[in-house]
Amino acid sequence: MNQVMTPGTAVRPLRTLISLMRRELWESPISMKWAPLGIGLLTILLTLFTLAIASRVDHELHSAQDALRLLAETDREQLKLLVTGFLFSTSTIFFQFMVLLIIFYLAGSLFDDRKDRSILFWKSLPVSDGMLVGSKLATACLLIPLMFMLAIMLTHLVLLLIASGLAVSAGVNPFTTIWLPASLPHLWSVMAAGLLVQALWLMPIYAWLLFCSSWAPRLPILIAIGIPAVLAIIQNSWSLLSSLSLPNVNIGLVMLKRLGSSMLPMSANIQFDHGLQHIQFDEDLFMRFSNLNNYLLSLELWIGLVIALPLLVAAVWFRRRATDQA
């Protein structure tokens, strides 16, 4: 008799995945929940501290008020660029810390289950190893960026309220000068889409970290960094000994290029040119949806996804054969 697929059966894996992701959030509330809120609070406090220092130098902040009056007379497109650029600049530290957090999270995610022997508990549950590895990856690609995105949105709102208070004191309409140029729905939607594209772009690095975490006996983060570094050194040494020239493509710099050119404000674009590396900083990757489309349509992104797939399969394989020894 053929088994009938019901709607409840179809959504059960999704519910299991969401439950596993919630478990990750419960186990790491400081890094995933309070850290982004702490960065936002620090950003707001630094803004208030700067205004307090400025008020000592310039009584009643006349210079800031004059700047707001000039801002109100600026061309609409230029005004939008200035306001959104300011909000993007305040988001930079969020995204940089987020990527660093994800790297350390993935490097220790499967290793920690073996280290504290909680892997025995998970193997006793009717949850597949593929679902467990998938929940780690989904946490890195979706849950952590979501928590940081919420913190960024809250920070933006508070900063705009502070700017609105200054605008009112300067006799400037805060709606037309600050809130309308900010275009928050468009701004946030571009940033959210950028985070999804960033996850796809960094997928081979994420998969590599999960792969190392699934089998490393000790210090998976050092092993994940050390193997490409050693291969890069061997590659350079062999090239120098054989042809007295550096290789055109270095595996270590390729990984740095992908990490540096991810969808982050002020990201670095490393170009290879006959062994020479040119670094160029892009400041407006989040400003337009066209930037995201360029990444989605790029061959490099899809090659990275193809590389990530066997690494994820290998991580599941090692997870299935793992013991409580680490």
Render pLDDT for 129-174 as a digit per residue (tens, 0 to 9).
899 999 999 999 999 999 999 999 999 999 999 999 888 888 888 8
pLDDT 10s digits, 35-85: 999 999 999 999 999 888 877 776 666 677 777 787 777 778 888 888 888
Token couple for 149: 């995105």
Helix axis angle for 129-138 and 203-215, nearest 10°, is: 130
Asked, for residue 127, whether it belongs to a domain, the answer is yes
Do 191 and 243 fall into the same domain?
A: no
Beta carbons within 10 angstroms of residue 311's beta carbon? 19
**Domain span including residue 224:** 220-320
Query: Does pLDDT of 273 surpass 90?
Result: no
Do 175 and 73 fall into the same domain?
A: yes
Alpha-carbon distance 152 to 87, whole Å? 9
Q: What is the pLDDT of residue 11?
A: 63
Do 287 and 170 fall into the same domain?
A: no
Alpha-carbon distance 82 to 63, whole Å? 18
Q: What is the pLDDT of residue 200?
A: 92
Do 61 and 190 fall into the same domain?
A: yes
pLDDT 10s digits, 168-220: 888 888 898 899 999 899 899 988 988 998 999 999 999 999 999 999 988 99
Do 190 and 224 fall into the same domain?
A: no
Asked, for residue 28, whether it belongs to a domain, the answer is yes
Q: What is the pLDDT of residue 246?
A: 52
Instruction: Say how many domains are in the chain.
Output: 2
Asked, for residue 93, whether it belongs to a domain, the answer is yes
Q: Which of 144, 170, 200 is the last residue of a domain?
A: 200
CA torsion angle for 253, 249, 221, 296 (degrees, to 10)?
Answer: 80
Q: What is the pLDDT of residue 325?
A: 46
Do 82 and 150 fall into the same domain?
A: yes
Check residues 121 and 229 and name the one with the higher pLDDT: 229
Do 270 and 156 fall into the same domain?
A: no
Do 189 and 229 fall into the same domain?
A: no
* pTM (2 d.p.): 0.85
Do 236 and 195 fall into the same domain?
A: no
Q: What is the pLDDT of residue 207?
A: 96
The fraction of the chain above a pLDDT of 70, given in percent, is: 81
